[in-house]
């Protein structure tokens, strides 16, 4: 019996040496070619889903509303508790047994949220590799996230800040948003593999009319194309959504009072949730349910995630390039996620939590984001650059952000402390610098996962990387929160930690060899096919013509 839907030899492979008989079957893989073909409607429904799950509620208005409610509920620590309102330089609240700066509270809550995500993805992540579960998982998390988006309509008063903590952790701002995004993202390698032009290339490779290396490079570009275009389409969609939001804010007179402004935040979150559901429906309907693996004997859906994660971590000793990238992804993910949060807290205080100004900033930033992502893709396509090359260039600009924040530790002239800085290198609400040069991280870091992961267990490895990313994402904010507290409220001090961590992580990226990874993955798939670690079925490799190698 063979398992349809996966073709490890298509996406991973480099020509074996002529005298290497042990490698001759590696490029055929142990699974049959997919019987599905990606249609244009299916592909565009995939892009449209991301227009809805765009992060406006998750990375912009939700966190801003959360911090806004903390600011309105907090008090000036120089006066007796709750006797004087917060100032832009001092604002605290009692939280988890200690009086904390509200920026520290945001970072600590982020850490808690990301820890919950890690556990969720560890349990649920493996389900996507079996049967037809993955689309159901995406649908479930999406609907739940949309429901929580609407729940924000009932949380718009300062005294409700504790309720906002729950919505912030569980809603579209973090856990549900990230879980749905993880399983949506993990679908793109299968979509790329089943594109008509990639299927034609596959048949040319197995009949000896082209080399497997040429086919592997074409498949890699196809994955990059889908990933980058999805981000570009999302950016264009966000611009339209933000234009509608400006009209909503005008109708709500958001700048007339603090009450109106706070209410407007919740309305925008709910509006984003409604559009998310609308954009998700075509993907729910048009996605072809590509079958996954068979559940191994003795395993259950509650235990398979832990078993697979344990086996995958064990096998990383054999997948050395995957392991190197896993370390890089852990460290650089920590740098970027924490930098996102730190700069966002600085920005929110600079613009005084104004919904209108935040929205206008977003419009400028997302225009730059669309241009940046699509320009990166055009350059890669034109010069046939590798995913690693594009990602390395992108990482350089992430480091520049940490350097800019580092400057602000000892001076008030620079370091995300002025409105003019927000319009240039701002991060969470991406402006010109971030949109053009940093935002492509979200495309290329995901594509790179597909370059160093075995296709039959692609969803597991995406979930594994996501768990690792969430682990780093809660460690970084917790460390940064402690740094801010120890530095007597200096919100720029975490950039020293982030800059050093970024330098270390870059070294691991440079050490990744994608060509070696393809060979390691092929050997891994053959070995696991015979050992039945991930599946209960046995498959037989098919010999490729020597001319195709």
272/278 Cα distance (integer angstroms): 10
- Interatomic CA distance for residues 229 and 46, integer angstroms: 11
Which phi and psi (to 5°) does residue 92 adopt? -135, 160
Query: How many whole angstroms from its chain centre is CA 132?
Result: 23
* pLDDT (0 to 100) of residue 374: 85
CA distance 176 to 169: 9
3-state secondary structure of 110: helix
- The pTM (predicted TM-score) of the whole model is 0.71
Contact by Cβ (8 Å): 63, 428 = yes
Spatial distance between the Cα atoms of 358 and 220, rounded to a whole number of angstroms? 37
Q: Answer positive or negative: Cα dihedral of 19, 20, 22, 27.
A: negative
The predicted structure's pLDDT at residue 23: 33
For residues 26 and 454, what is the distance between their CA atoms, to the nearest angstrom?
13
Quickly tell me which residue has 């440079």 as its tokens: 510
Helix axes 62-73, 320-350, angle to 10 degrees: 50
Alpha helices in 408-457 (DSSP H): 419-422, 432-433, 441-451
Q: Give CA–CA dist 13/215, Å, rounded.
A: 9
Sign of CA dihedral 259, 263, 264, 265: positive
In terms of Cα–Cα distance, which of 461, 452, 41, 12 is closest to 202? 12
Tokens encoding 339? 């930098």
Helices 387-407 and 441-451 cross at an angle (nearest 10°) of: 140
Q: Would you give per-residue pLDDT tens digits along the chain (549 residues)? A: 222 222 223 333 333 333 333 333 333 332 346 789 999 999 999 999 999 988 776 567 887 888 899 999 999 998 899 999 998 778 999 999 899 988 888 878 877 887 777 777 777 766 766 767 778 888 998 998 899 899 999 999 999 999 999 888 876 445 577 778 878 887 888 898 899 998 898 888 888 888 877 888 888 888 889 988 998 898 889 889 988 998 999 999 988 899 999 999 899 999 999 999 999 999 999 999 887 767 767 777 777 777 776 766 676 667 889 889 989 998 998 888 788 777 766 766 555 556 777 777 778 778 888 888 888 989 988 888 889 999 999 999 999 888 888 887 777 776 666 555 555 443 333 456 777 888 888 888 988 988 888 776 666 677 677 667 666 655 776 777 788 777 776 777 888 889 999 999 999 999 999 888 888 888 777 766 555 555 543 333 334 444 444
Q: In degrees, to the nearest 5, what angle opens at C-alpha 412 toward C-alphas 407 and 414?
A: 45
SS (H, E, C) 151-187: HHHHCCCHHHHHHHHHHHHHCCCCHHHHHHHHHHHCC
Kind and range of the H or E run holding 303: none
Q: Which residues does residue 94 pair with via DSSP β-bridges, in sequence order?
A: 99
Closest by Cα among 184, 210, 186 to 197:
210
Which two structure tokens, joined as six digits, stand for 188?
């793109």
Q: Which residues pair with 130 in a beta bridge?
A: 293
Question: Could you tell me if 291 and 131 are in contact, meaning their C-beta atoms sit under 8 angstroms apart?
Answer: yes
pLDDT in the model for residue 396: 94
Return the closest-CA partner of residue 495 out of 348, 342, 337, 328. 342
For the beta carbon of residue 284, count every other beta carbon within 10 angstroms: 16
Chain centroid to Cα 31, Å, comes to 29
Measured between alpha carbons, how far is 44 from 513 in angstroms, rounded to an integer? 33
Euclidean distance between CA atoms 538 and 387, whole angstroms: 33
């Amino acid at each position: 019996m063979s398992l349809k839907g996966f073709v490890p030899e298509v996406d991973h492979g480099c020509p074996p040496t002529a005298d290497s008989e042990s490698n001759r079957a590696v490029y055929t893989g142990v699974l049959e070619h997919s019987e599905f073909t990606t249609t244009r409607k299916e592909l565009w429904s995939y892009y449209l889903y991301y227009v809805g799950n765009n992060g406006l509620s998750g990375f912009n208005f939700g966190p801003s509303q959360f911090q806004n409610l903390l600011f309105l509920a907090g008090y000036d620590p120089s006066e007796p508790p709750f006797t004087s309102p917060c100032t832009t330089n001092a604002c605290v609240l009692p939280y988890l047994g200690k009086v904390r700066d509200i920026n520290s509270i945001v970072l600590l809550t982020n850490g808690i949220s990301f820890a919950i995500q890690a556990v969720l993805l560890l349990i649920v992540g493996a389900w996507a590799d079996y049967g037809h579960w993955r689309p159901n998982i995406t649908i479930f998390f999406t609907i739940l996230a949309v429901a929580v988006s609407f729940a924000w309509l009932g949380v718009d008063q300062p005294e409700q800040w504790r309720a906002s903590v729950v919505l912030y952790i569980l809603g579209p701002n973090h856990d549900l948003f990230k879980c749905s995004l993880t399983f949506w993202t993990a679908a793109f390698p299968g979509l790329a593999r089943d594109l008509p032009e990639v299927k034609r290339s596959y048949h040319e490779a197995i009949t000896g009319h082209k080399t497997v290396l040429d086919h592997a490079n074409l498949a890699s570009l196809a994955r990059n194309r889908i990933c980058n275009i999805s981000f570009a389409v999302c950016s264009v969609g966000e611009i339209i959504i933000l234009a509608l939001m400006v009209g909503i804010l005008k109708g709500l007179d958001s700048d007339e009072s603090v009450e109106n402004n706070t209410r407007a935040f919740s309305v925008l979150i709910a509006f984003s949730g409604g559009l998310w559901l609308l954009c998700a429906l075509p993907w729910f309907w048009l996605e072809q349910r590509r079958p996954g693996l068979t559940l191994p004997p003795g395993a259950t859906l509650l235990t398979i995630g832990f078993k697979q994660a344990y086996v995958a971590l064990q096998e990383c000793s054999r997948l050395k390039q995957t392991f190197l990238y896993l370390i890089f992804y852990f460290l650089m993910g920590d740098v970027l996620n924490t930098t996102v949060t730190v700069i966002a807290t600085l920005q929110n205080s600079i613009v005084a939590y104004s919904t209108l100004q935040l929205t206008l900033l977003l419009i400028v930033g997302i225009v730059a984001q669309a241009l940046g992502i699509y320009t990166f893709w055009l350059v890669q396509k034109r010069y046939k650059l590798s995913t690693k090359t594009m990602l390395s260039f992108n990482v350089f600009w992430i480091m520049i952000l940490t350097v800019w924040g580092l400057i602000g530790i000892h001076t008030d002239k620079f370091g995300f402390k002025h409105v003019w800085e927000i319009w240039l290198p701002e991060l969470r609400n991406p402006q010109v610098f971030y949109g053009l040069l940093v935002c492509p991280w979200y495309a290329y870091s995901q594509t790179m996962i597909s370059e160093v992961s075995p296709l039959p267990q692609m969803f597991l490895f995406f979930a594994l990387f996501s768990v690792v990313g969430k682990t780093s994402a809660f460690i970084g904010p917790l460390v940064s929160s402690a740094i801010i507290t120890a530095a007597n409220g200096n919100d720029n001090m975490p950039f020293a930690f982030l800059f050093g961590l970024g330098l270390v992580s870059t070294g691991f990226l440079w050490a990744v060899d994608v060509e070696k990874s393809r060979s390691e993955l092929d050997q891994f798939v053959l070995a696991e096919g015979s050992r039945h670690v991930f599946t209960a079925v046995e498959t037989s490799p098919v010999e490729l013509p020597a001319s195709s190698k």
